[in-house]
Amino acid sequence: MRTSAGSSCSDLNVQLFGESRLSDMARHWRFAIVGVGVVGEWHVRVLSRMENATLAAVCDVNPAQPAKAFEKNKITGVPVYTDIHEMLRKEQIDVVTVATPSGDHFTPATVAMEAGKHTFTEVPAATTVEGCHRLVGTSERTGRHCVIMENCCYFRNAMMVLNMVRHGLFGEMLHGEAGYQHYRIAQNVFDDHGNLLWCGEEEARRNGNLYPTHAVGPVGQWLNINRGDRFDYLVSVSGKSRGLNLYAAEHFGPDHPLTRREYALGDINTTLIKTVNGCTITLYHDTQAPRPYDLIYRAQGTKGLYMGTLDKIFIQGRSKGDTWETLEGYSEFEHPLWKALATRAEGTGHGGADFIMLQRLIRCFQTGTYPDMDVYDAADWSVIAPLSEQSVAQRGRSVD
C-alpha cells in the first residue's frame, strides 16, 4: 500500500519541505478557495475567524455560490473567478483550499501545486490509485505541500487519545478500529424528486469502503502510520445491498426505477488492514442501514484501550479491576491545542475541531513546522477506497 515514490515520508520531509521554505511568521497567509458549495462555505466562514489568514480569492463555476457564502458571512471585496488558472495567474495566493465535489479534488489540487501553491484538500484527496500516486509525485516534484483536511483528527477525544499514545499510556499499540457509520441516504443519495445525486451514482456502481478517511485518519495517527509504521496490505468484503432499494420504495413507490435498480455498494463493508510492524486496523463503511452516528474510534495497546463508542477508557494498573472509566479522570492528557484554543473554537463546527485544524495548519506554515497531515497521509488514507474495491471484487483477497 505504498503510494510514495519508494521512500517513507520521514525520509523525504527534510529533503522536500525544509523549514526555510515555509517559515514566514510576519505575514498573513493568503488563501483561495476552489468550490464554494456547502463545504466551501464552511471554509469561508472559518477563514473569516482566523487572525493569521486572509481570504484572497474564490473560484466556482457557479458565481452565485460565492455570492451566497459572502452574504451569509458578511464578507465583501473578495474577487470571484470561474477559472482556476485565471485566478492563480492574477492573484497573490499562498494556499489553495480545494472544496469541489468529492469526486474530483485531485485535479484542482495538482493544478495549484503546479502553480507553486500549497494545497489544502477536502477528503478524499483522490479516488483512484493512479490519482494518489500522481498527487504524491506532484508534491514531491514541486516542493509544495498537499495537506488533507481530515477534521476528525482534531476531534477533542481523538487528540486526547493521541496524547495518551505519545505518553505511552496504552503501552505498545496493537490495534485500531473505526468506521464511517452514518445513515446519509436522504442527504447524499437521492433528491426529493426521485433522482440520484452524485453520491448515489457512485454507490450504484462502486462496492467497497468508499469514504475511509474520517475513520482511518485518527487511527493512522495513533498507530504512527508514515512516521515509523506503514500500511502493508488490506482485505475487504461487502455484504448485501438492501438499504437504497428499501428507501426508494418507501419514498418513491415500489415501481419507481430507483426502487428496481441494482446498486453495487453493500450496506456494510468491512476492511482489515495489516501494518508492516504488525498492527491491525478494522474499518467499516455503514451508511445505508438506519442507525445512529458512530465512528467507533477504538485504540488498543498492550496496557489498555479506549473505546470511542462508549467514550471510556481502561488502563491496566490505573483502572480499578476490569471497570471502564470516563475520560474525566485523565484530564492531564488533554491535548495542548485544545487547552489553548477551546474557547476560540466554540461554534465553528464539529465541536470546534474545524477551527483548531485550520489554526494549527496555518501555524505550522508560519513557523516552518512540518504539518500534522501531508501528501503521504492524503494518498494512503484515500487509496483505501479503490484498493478495497479491488479486494471486494476478488472475493476478499489481500491487496498490497
**Which residue, of 131, 150, 169, is where some domain finishes?**
150
Residue 1 is predicted with a pLDDT of 74
Residue 245 is assigned to a structural domain of this protein: yes
Determine the structural domain holding residue 170 and report its residue range. 153-343+373-393
Residue 336 is assigned to a structural domain of this protein: yes
Whether 66 and 93 map to the same domain: the answer is yes
Whether 122 and 158 map to the same domain: the answer is no
Residue 309 is predicted with a pLDDT of 98
**Which residue, of 109, 131, 150, is where some domain finishes?**
150
Residue 65 is assigned to a structural domain of this protein: yes
Q: How far apart, in whole angstroms, are the C-alpha atoms of residue 233 and residue 243?
A: 29
Residue 347 is predicted with a pLDDT of 83
Residue 25 is predicted with a pLDDT of 52
Q: How far apart, in whole angstroms, are the C-alpha atoms of residue 248 and residue 268?
A: 18
Backbone angles phi, psi at 235, to 5 degrees: -130, 145
Residue 134: is it exposed, middle or buried by C-beta count within 10 angstroms (0-12/13-18/19+)? middle
Whether 94 and 177 map to the same domain: the answer is no
Whether 330 and 300 map to the same domain: the answer is yes
Whether 268 and 174 map to the same domain: the answer is yes
Task: Identify whether 66 is preceded by a cis peptide bond (ω within 30 of 0).
Answer: no
CATH number of the domain where residue 59 is located? 3.40.50.720
Residue 3 is predicted with a pLDDT of 60
Residue 3 is assigned to a structural domain of this protein: no
Residue 17 is predicted with a pLDDT of 41
Residue 209 is predicted with a pLDDT of 99
| Number of structural domains in the chain | 2
Residue written as grid cell 475513520: 215
CATH number of the domain where residue 160 is located? 3.30.360.10
With contact defined as beta carbons under 8 Å apart, do 146 and 139 qualify?
yes
Partners of residue 147 on adjacent β-strands = 120
Residue 27 is predicted with a pLDDT of 65
Residue 15 is predicted with a pLDDT of 36
Strand 280-286 versus strand 268-275 pairing type: antiparallel
Whether 74 and 160 map to the same domain: the answer is no
Whether 19 and 127 map to the same domain: the answer is yes
**Which residue, of 108, 134, 150, is where some domain finishes?**
150
Whether 202 and 292 map to the same domain: the answer is yes
Element (H, E) at 308: none
Strand 298-301 versus strand 146-148 pairing type: unpaired
With contact defined as beta carbons under 8 Å apart, do 41 and 68 qualify?
yes
Residue 362 is assigned to a structural domain of this protein: no
| Cβ partners under 8 Å of residue 107, min gap 6 | none
Whether 61 and 202 map to the same domain: the answer is no
Element (H, E) at 271: strand 268-275
| pLDDT digit string (tens) for the chain, length 400 residues | 756 433 344 343 433 344 434 445 556 899 999 999 999 999 999 999 898 899 999 999 999 999 999 999 999 999 999 999 999 999 999 999 999 998 899 999 999 999 999 999 999 999 999 999 999 999 999 999 999 999 999 999 999 999 999 999 999 999 999 999 999 999 999 999 999 999 999 999 999 999 999 999 999 999 999 999 999 999 999 999 999 999 999 999 999 999 999 999 999 999 999 999 999 999 999 999 999 999 999 999 999 999 999 999 999 999 999 999 999 999 999 999 999 999 999 888 889 999 999 999 999 998 889 999 999 999 999 999 999 999 999 999 999 9
Whether 164 and 312 map to the same domain: the answer is yes
Whether 228 and 377 map to the same domain: the answer is yes
Q: How far apart, in whole angstroms, are the C-alpha atoms of residue 52 and residue 75?
A: 17
